[in-house]
Structure 1
Amino acid sequence: MLILTNATWQDILCLVGLGVYLVMQAPTKKNLAPYPPGPPGLPLVGNVLDVPHIKPWLTFADWGKKYGDISHISVLGQHIIVVNSVKIAMDMLDNKSAVYSGRSVLHMAGELVGLKHVLVLLLYGERLRRYRKHFHRVIGSRAALDIYNPIEEVETHRFLKRVLAKPDQLQAHIRHTAGAIILRISHGYEVEQNNGPFVDLADRALDQFSRCTTPSAFMVDILPFLANVPQWFPSAGFKRIAREWRETVKEMAAAPLKSVKDQMAAGIAHKSFASSLLEGRTLSAEEEHVVKWSAASLYGGGTHTTVSATYSFFLAMTLYPDVQKKAQAEIDAVVGPDRLPSFADRESLPYTEALVKEVLRWNAVVPTCVPHRVTEDNIHDGYYIPEGSLIIPNIWFMLNDPRTYANPSQFDPERFLPKDGKGPETDPRTICFGFGRRICSGLNLADASAWISTAMSLAVFDISKVVENGVEITPEVDPSSGTISHPKPFKYSINARSAKALELIQQDANY
């Protein structure tokens, strides 16, 4: 694997030397204004040694403290702009979205692994607009999602059953449920008790996506000419990895769609995102491509926020029992003991709603966002942002910025409720799903899944710390590094709240 931190110094010097040669060949032009401030680089190679590889959002936050809300580095001629301010991110990525909505060609993830066709990495253009049009029609609003509410509720009820039976397998249950929901919506595929092949496939693809899109994880993204080197070249093992991962991507896109077509031909297909795009149409090659990859984008990418947010919710409830009790008291008062919460209760549960918001703020699922690419030279706040620059919004810091959130290290849902004549703090959903024309198309689905999982789990479970040998074990809050961040595994205890709660869990859960 050609990961910069694991490469030998001989390999690095060899590759940097080739990169320097290429940089020296590149034409130069007079800057229209100064670059934003940032750490000083070396001659020719720039900041190649400054690029952070583990939890880069922490380094980016340090740059923000030292250089201001917008900072700049250059890596072998590639300009990178880091943004640590919600206002600047919105000014750039929302208000100037026509210029700031491009994507860089990721040579490992996009070209070698084959992920360039999924929505999140798609270059800006007509095909992207078609994907987003399909997404908006099916899951673009809470109202559009209403048709899928029964799926969310039934699958979450099944989740409660699995957690009750095997509480020590919480992570697996969360992944199973997220996969079951998204597969039913994307391809009409109903997952049985054990993970079906498509759930495992999505898990594998998502893990590979996170690993190969992490900034600077693979040297080929810094030195693109390496894509053409032979496999015997020093540290070219990334080419073998790319071949293996490419097979996963191809199967992820093709296999579920084939299942939909087979079921439609047999007259037994469930209503789904894919079937609605296929029904009654003869597709051109381009239309077939858009259907296959937009459905794959929903299926492959639609679980990560839910999995991370739900696991983060259980971690937060383990650490903050007082918050758990307040939410449970609200659910008990509004819903009562004789049924599970449903989406119909959402407007009547403001504290539970605030709790979901705080989970999304507290654990940034995508801490640094997939970088935007600038499609033409631009001047922003007096700084020169050259064409081709990568813009990295530091979402983690924005969700922990004391200028936006009081005491950001504190887990406090009440920050999102009016109090003492003050309005609620900024809704984290305006930040955590990205910005502009590249905002996450599945944000409403992710939000709905996180809410119903939170409400149902609180209604029937008590979540607490584990006691071992008379000692209470306090989990560590330590999110994993990568494009998609999850809390690291932790110890917990989950039990039914009462005999009535046990009865609710054990009721049938069917469509």
Structure 2
Amino acid sequence: MFAAAVLFAFALVVALVARWLKARRLRLPPGPPPDPFIGNLRQMAFTNQEQMFESWGKTYVWAGTRFSATCPTASVPEHRRLIQDHFNQQAILAYRPLQRLETCTLLLGLLQKPEAFIRHVRRFSAGTIMKITYGHTVKSMDELYVRLAEDAAHETVSAGSPGSMLVDFFPALKFLPAWMPGAGFKRHALKTRVKVRRMLDIPFKMVQRTMAAGTAIPSFVSDLIIANESDSKHKQYEEEDIKGAAGVLYGAATDTTSALLISFFLAMTLHPDVLRKAQAEIEEKVGPDRLPDFEDRDSLPYVDSIVKEVYRAMTRSEDMYTDPHTFYPERFMNQDSQTAEMTDPKNVVFGFGRRLCPGKFFGDANIWLVVASVLAAFDITKRRNDRGEEIPPLVDYASGFVSNEAAQVPKLDVSNEGLASMKYDAMGPLVVNSDGTVSRITNWPNMTELERERTMKVLIARNKLRLAKQDADDPSSTPLSMAGSAGEASK
């Protein structure tokens, strides 16, 4: 045992010396002076690394310098190619009815249980991408497929940011046996691998089963499986690539979308003047009788500026943005075309070049529609204690692979009477028509409770019949009446 320990220590010293000598030969960017053998390990922060890198950037990097880094793997280009075909600017137009439906379902959830707004936001994020990726309708965050993805994401994120473990600096440590003291990182990695494997395999097998039974709803995964089966001799895609691309889709869309939308709620709670200005713009350009739609985006520049400012809050470059730690949507108003392109945070937060997020256009459209709809439907204010005093919201972002905020629940109130009558009278008055537009039951206010109950039963029954027919005729295009969708989602 002693001989083995000595041999391991000797091998570790050799690896450290070799790493140090190699590092001395590399043309590295300027930074804090490294220590012999261990490099910058002592200076590295294991949490809130973005603050550390911001400070280093001011100290060691001259203005105008740009660096890029890549981590090439064989699977990444293939995953990107599979996703790109389904999420380019033209392809995402087919998803608009689903985005409208899921947005309306989110609004109803916020209206009925505003105290659970984070859960509603997470269900929206999961429901939209799960339907597109696997053809599965998410009715609850407690469903198996959602739990599998949440567990895998939690384990991955809990590992911390790159550079938060010793093995990131000393790769040779990965050869330690999992049972050995100090190898907790490896035990965690093995546990995470099992959960990620389940997240990739189980939903994929669900799609295979429904396809075999003839009940599958067209989806990203089913389309790729069909493409493979069309040529029995030469598969276009490896099964592992399909699983991996589907897993990347879900993982990339849920946590990021949720974090952005919760940050939006927090920003509106802290900046009521921004909220009021956006609502005035919507009132003028859209009016009180409907919700904003995708076609309204160009006529709502201030709402678009709010979305950009939520994105920009992820970047704090003083070279690019004046007073970057202040939430100020007006910075994006009345810009000339060149300045608008240079300062558009979408050019940064969705990645660059070959690492550009292939779901950029879909994700941006999703965020915009929710932000515009929430602004049109709700007032967002600080909560009050028993004495009527405002409770300052907690602004505390947790450090990690995806930085989420520990947000307190804001107070949500319906912002105008027209939308109140459409939404507050439960699911009956708000109906999403077959073309994705929103309308109301005009005689609802004059109905008795019994008549309302009967109307709801008829709407839900009619919706189920229409669903069955549309699934048989064209399963890919089914904007539902809100009566059916919200009723089923709440079960």
User: Which range, TM-score by smaller chain?
Assistant: 0.7 to 0.9
Q: Which has the higher contact order (CA 8 A, sep 6+)?
A: 1
Structure 1's 297 and 419: CA in aligned 2 closer, same or farther, altered over 3 A? closer
Matched, 1:432 2:401: no
The residue aligned with 2:438 is none
2:389 corresponds to which of 454, 458, 471: 471
Deviation at 1:148, TM superposition (A): 0.3
Please say if 1:102 is aligned against 2:71: yes
Instruction: State the shift of 1:351 in Å.
Output: 1.1
Q: Indicate the SS of the match to 1:54.
A: coil
Which amino acid in the other structure matches residue 212 of structure 1?
A
2:463: which partner in 1?
none
1:138-170 deviation line (CA, Å, top 9, x unaligned): 1122x2211001111101110111111111111
Change (3 A) 1:422 1:449: closer
CA distance in 2, matches of 1:64, 1:402: 11
Structure-2 change in CA distance of 1:40 and 1:462 (3 Å): same
Matched, 1:272 2:210: no
The separation in 1 between residues aligned to 2:324 and 2:269, in whole angstroms, is 19
Residue 188 of structure 1 contacts residue 271 of structure 1 at CA under 8 Å; is this kept in 2?
yes
Output the CA distance in 1 between the equivalents of 2:371 and 2:10: 52
Number of the residue aligned with 2:267: 316
Q: Which residue of 2 aligns with 1:417?
A: 333
| CA distance in structure 1 between the aligned counterparts of 2:131 and 2:157, rounded to whole angstroms | 23
TM, length-normalised to structure 2: 0.79
Would you say 1:496 and 2:443 are equivalent positions?
no
In structure 2, how many angstroms separate the alpha carbons of the residues matched to 1:221 and 1:31?
Answer: 18
Deviation at 1:174, TM superposition (A): 0.7
Label 1:504 to 1:49 Cα distance change in 2 as closer, same or farther (>3 A).
Answer: same
- Taking a change above 3 Å as real, the CA distance of residues 320 and 504 of structure 1, as seen in their structure-2 partners, is same
Separation in 2 of the partners of 1:266 and 1:307? 34
Cα offset, 1:436, TM superposition: 2.3
The CA distance in 1 between the partners of 2:263 and 2:213, in whole Å, is 41
CA–CA separation in structure 2 for the residues paired with 1:460 and 1:508: 15
Q: Which moved more, 1:453-462 or 1:295-304?
A: 295-304
SS of equivalent to 1:49: helix
Name 1:340's counterpart in structure 2: 291
Shift of 1:310: 0.3
8 Å contact from structure 1 (residues 138, 145) kept in 2: yes
Distance 1:64 1:101, change over 3 A: closer
Structure with the bigger percentage of helix = 2
For residues 422 and 27 of structure 1, the distance between their equivalents in structure 2, rounded to whole angstroms, comes to 45
Structure 2, unmatched stretches of 5+, are: 1-7, 433-478, 481-491
CA distance in 2, matches of 1:29, 1:196: 50
Is structure 2 residue 113 aligned with structure 1 residue 166? yes
Q: Is the 8 A contact 1:101 1:436 kept in 2?
A: no
Q: Percent identity?
A: 36
Instruction: Provide structure 1 residue ranges, at least 5 long, that are not aligned to the other structure.
Output: 1-14, 70-84, 94-99, 104-122, 365-398
| Among candidates 276, 281, 294, match of residue 245 of structure 2 | 294
**After the TM superposition, which residues 180-329 of structure 1 pair with which residues of structure 2 at under 5 Å, given as runs?**
180-193=127-140, 195-212=142-159, 214-282=161-229, 284=235, 287-329=238-280
Question: 1:290 Cα deviation (Å)?
Answer: 1.4
1:404 matched residue in structure 2? 320
Report how far residue 285 of structure 1 moved: 9.5
The reply on whether 1:441 has 2:358 as its aligned counterpart is: yes
340 and 27 in structure 1: CA distance in 2 versus 1, 3 angstrom threshold: closer
Give the match's secondary structure for 1:474. Answer: coil
Corresponding residue for residue 370 of structure 1 = none
Distance 1:303 1:172 in 2: 12
Per the alignment, do residues 240 and 156 of structure 1 end up closer, same or farther by CA in structure 2, a change over 3 Å counting?
Answer: same
Q: Does the aligned pair in 2 maintain the 1:357–1:427 contact within 8 Å?
A: yes
- Counterpart residue number, 1:82: none
For residues 69-148 of structure 1, what are the structure 2 equivalents within 5 Å?
A: 69=62, 88-89=65-66, 92-93=67-68, 100-103=69-72, 123=73, 125=74, 127-141=75-89, 143-148=90-95
CA distances 1:465-496 after superposition (whole Å, capped 9, x unpaired): 11212321222433211111112222421111
Aligned-pair distance for 1:457? 0.6
**Among 28, 40, 50, the residue aligned to 1:57:** 50
Query: Do residues 153 (structure 1) and 104 (structure 2) align?
Result: no
